[in-house]
Amino acid sequence: MKYNFGAGPCILPQEVFKQAAEAVLNFENTGLSILEISHRAPEFDAIMDEGIALVKELLNVPEGYSVLFLHGGASLQFSMLPANLLAEGQTAVYVDSGTWASKAMKEAKLYGNVEVIASSKDANYSYIPKDYEVPADAAYLHVTSNNTIFGTELHEFPKSPVPLVSDMSSDIMSRQINVADFGLIYAGAQKNIGPAGVALVIVKDELIGKSGRKLPSMLDYKIHADNKSLYNTPPVFSIYASVLTLRWLKAKGGIAQIEKENIAKAEALYAEIDNNPLFKGTCAVEDRSRMNVTFVTVNPDHEKPFLDLAKKKNLVGIKGHRSVGGFRASIYNALPIESVNELIATMREFAASQS
Amino acid sequence: MKYNFGAGPCILPQEVFKQAAEAVLNFENTGLSILEISHRAPEFDAIMDEGIALVKELLNVPEGYSVLFLHGGASLQFSMLPANLLAEGQTAVYVDSGTWASKAMKEAKLYGNVEVIASSKDANYSYIPKDYEVPADAAYLHVTSNNTIFGTELHEFPKSPVPLVSDMSSDIMSRQINVADFGLIYAGAQKNIGPAGVALVIVKDELIGKSGRKLPSMLDYKIHADNKSLYNTPPVFSIYASVLTLRWLKAKGGIAQIEKENIAKAEALYAEIDNNPLFKGTCAVEDRSRMNVTFVTVNPDHEKPFLDLAKKKNLVGIKGHRSVGGFRASIYNALPIESVNELIATMREFAASQS
């Protein structure tokens, strides 16, 4: 038994692993593997319909939005977003809250003007920038709702006079949001949606096809929306395993329920970080992420021995990203509270061993 | 037991299904699912190295080429190719041998001039265009080595004074080729390489980064080559299942061996089509594909009853594409000769029942 705190690709529900493995041998009693069925088969068409419907139901997506399952991960969305929504000469405004926000900006600059209206770079992205004015003539405002590397999360989305776009790769489906407040939401699947190899996009239809730009078909939201994400052969297995994960989320009570569990897990772990004299958090308390919990040892000499102990206890994936150092425990939807408790017990055992 | 003649995603080796299912539960004894391991984990890094090495070994890839596993399928390559290799104002020449060639041309037109130097559109793509002159100042010559929809295959690649580029989506790994003759080869995985969700690109390094165009990072071959296809989170499972398939191919004797088997399967099936008075082929005999065998009933009234009989016999995926009608039996690497024999027996049974 391993406790997988990896930042992504990451733990998914155990029953999803079982069901996905079964489908690789025999997909829903077709006598065929999910790996060998046509994406045009009625059985897969039903899976695509179910995936779209589950996203709409779980997130309460209002009328007028398209739900897309696309190739290329969130990194391709960094380019597709401005290619589709930022016309030549227009300006998009970005909040620079970490590495991924910076990468998103870099790609947008190929398509138009990019204005950084707020940044926490000065403090190694240890807080979420707030209190900025959004120019009313911008094409859109881009925020990153959760900063996987730095362990901060946007707990309250800004009011915006222009379409609000959020990269929600690492906290989508973990919290209730009001989709109507957004122009576009995108997320790589490989945290709370499913395995790597697919990205989810939720886009307000009225924003599509307005950039006046001739786009490669694969980068054109309109083509994917018109073809129900079946313009070309989609990543069949990744979509199927995502649907299994969304079914699991619905069955356990949906996002209201998982949000409660996520709050409980995060509170327990942050309490230990704050109370254990050997550890401390790395972020502004009010901006702490419920998905990626970053912390360090107060004494740098404790870092290696704690990592060794964690390894011995089968806690995997908790080494921090090199940009922050220390530790990062990713506690996504599918991570059970038992894993958090095991980490807490290990931190206590470590403190006891050092006193 | 079903006999899967689907055109793609299609049958893969049965042992690949077993091994992939096992890895979804426990990836190579890590105690973790292949769906939850980090793409930065040493275990996955080894898989990526192995995948690249297997492609190089199986296809005898010479020095000076990069092997990439990318998101987006061959459809994204339709754009990435000209984005990277066709500078502003340059001309690329294309052979129009079918639907996919046409789609590739359409995307290239966004980046530069496209000249069609040969086409078989006049005869519903029932043959492979030959005997054309390739302009010496073109950026590249693009051919489609196998036309999945129309059932034709380029058995001899043209000599070209400019870099030869081939979409080999539906016959890569089925036949011996001399990679040194090519500037770039690309292929969606979902025929002979693995499941849907990843594309293979083999590109001559000296062709990369010459278009002078600022590219979105995800569309830039140089970035993917420099990062060993790990610039962003790759489609982990699709790559892993592809590596399993390539291992299987190597173990059974590599491409020389599978080519022999593919020839035997194709010859047996075409012999039946030619000898059975109720059926006939749809393509020029010399251009017949060894991968996708297209045929029709001589009497159109026989089409439905034969399809019904095939269904009763558990032959799936043999309905022809709407552009051709009739039937298409896709007999890729992993399709056993027993399946071909079953189809032949069914054709004979049908003929007997009609006489």
A194-204 pLDDT, tens per residue?
999 999 999 99
Give yes or no for A245 touching B (CB within 8 A).
Answer: no
CATH number of B14-251: 3.40.640.10
- Give the residue range(s) of CATH 3.90.1150.10 domains in chain A: 254-354
Select from A1, A11, A217 the Cβ nearest to the Cβ of B107. Answer: A217
- Give the residue range(s) of CATH 3.90.1150.10 domains in chain B: 255-354
Which 161-180 residues of chain B touch chain A by CB within 8 A?
Answer: none
Put simply, the answer to whether A195 touches B107 (Cβ < 8 Å) is: no
**Catalytic: B106?**
no
Q: Report pLDDT for A355.
A: 79
Q: Report pLDDT for A40.
A: 94
Q: Report pLDDT for B45.
A: 97
Select from A10, A30, A35 the Cβ nearest to the Cβ of B9. Answer: A35
What pLDDT digit, counting tens, does each position of B219-242 carry? 999 999 999 999 999 999 999 999
Task: Give residue B122's region: left, alpha or beta (phi > 0; psi -120 to 50).
Answer: alpha
Select from B32, B194, B218 the Cβ nearest to the Cβ of A4. Answer: B32
- Is residue B321 within 8 A of residue B251, CB to CB? The reply is no
Q: Report pLDDT for A255.
A: 98
Give yes or no for A24 touching B (CB within 8 A).
Answer: yes
Active-site hit among B96, B171, B191, B287: B191
- Give the residue range(s) of CATH 3.40.640.10 domains in chain A: 14-251
The CA distance from B83 to A219, in Å, is: 13
Q: Report pLDDT for A1.
A: 82
Put simply, the answer to whether B196 touches A39 (Cβ < 8 Å) is: yes
To the question of pTM greater than 0.95 for the whole model, the response is yes
Q: Report pLDDT for B169.
A: 98
CB pairs under 8 A between A and B: 197
Number of residues in chain B: 355
Average pLDDT of the residues in A221-229: 97
Put simply, the answer to whether A233 touches B32 (Cβ < 8 Å) is: no
Average pLDDT of the residues in A223-237: 97
Mutate to test the interface with A, among B22, B24, B192 (most CBs of A within 10 A): B24
Q: Could you give the ipTM of this predicted complex?
A: 0.98
Nearest chain B Cα distance for residue A104, angstroms? 10
Q: What six digits make up the tokens of B315?
A: 């032959």
Which segments in chain B show pLDDT lower than 70? Answer: none
CB-based contacts of A245: which residues, under 8 Å, 6+ apart?
A: A12, A13, A16, A192, A193, A194, A334
The CA distance from B128 to B126, in Å, is: 7
Percent helix, strand and coil across chain B, each rounded to 5?
Answer: 40, 15, 40
3-state secondary structure of A126: coil
Average pLDDT of the residues in A57-65: 98
Put simply, the answer to whether A196 touches B20 (Cβ < 8 Å) is: no
Put simply, the answer to whether B9 touches A219 (Cβ < 8 Å) is: no
Chain A hits for B233, CB-CB cut-off 8 Å, are 8-9, 73, 75, 188, 190, 196
Number of residues in chain A: 355
Q: What six digits make up the tokens of A294?
A: 């970053």
Domain A254-354 maps to which CATH number in 3.30.930.10, 1.10.510.10, 3.40.50.720, 3.90.1150.10?
3.90.1150.10
pLDDT at A217 over 90: yes
Chain B hits for A198, CB-CB cut-off 8 Å, are 197
Put simply, the answer to whether B196 touches A31 (Cβ < 8 Å) is: no
CATH class of B255-354: alpha beta
The CA distance from A225 to A42, in Å, is: 19
What residue type is B267 in one-letter code?
E
What pLDDT digit, counting tens, does each position of A311-337 carry? 999 999 999 999 999 999 999 999 999
What residue type is B344 in one-letter code?
I
Mutate to test the interface with B, among A1, A218, A335 (most CBs of B within 10 A): A218
Q: Report pLDDT for A185.
A: 98
Just list the catalytic residues of A: 100, 167, 191
Q: Report pLDDT for B1.
A: 82
Q: Report pLDDT for B214.
A: 94
pLDDT at A210 over 90: no
